[in-house]
């Protein structure tokens, strides 16, 4: 890719960023930037919940009279 192509792409990205800036407020940008962190936390919470659930089931099976 030539230098001119890279310059064009960078200009397009800059214009896109400026355009989004006119529509989005600071709170919206913060939400977008923290989206990855929120999704990661949900995955961790889900994994922890599954592990706790399987631990409870295993404990019930151990204490179940035969």
Q: Which domain holds residue 33?
A: 25-66
Length of the chain: 66
How many angstroms separate the most distant Cα atoms in the chain?
Answer: 77
Indicate if the pLDDT at residue 55 is higher than 60: yes
Q: Is residue 14 part of a domain?
A: no
CA-to-CA separations, 26 to 5, 11, 29, 56, in angstroms, rounded: 31, 23, 5, 44
The answer to whether residue 6 is domain-embedded is: no
In a domain? residue 10: no
- Torsion, Cα 10 40 43 31, to 10 degrees, reads -80
The per-residue pLDDT for range 9-43, each reduced to its tens digit, is: 999 999 988 888 888 887 887 887 777 777 777 78
- Residue 50, judged by CB atoms within 10 A of its CB (0-12, 13-18, 19+), counts as exposed
In a domain, 54, yes or no: yes
């Amino acid at each position: 890719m030539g230098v001119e192509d890279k310059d064009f792409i960078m200009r397009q990205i800059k214009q896109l960023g400026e355009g989004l800036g006119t529509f989005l407020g600071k709170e919206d940008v913060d939400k977008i930037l923290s989206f990855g962190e929120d999704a990661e936390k949900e995955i961790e919470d889900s994994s922890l919940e599954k592990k706790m659930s399987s631990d409870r089931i295993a404990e019930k099976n151990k204490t179940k009279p035969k």
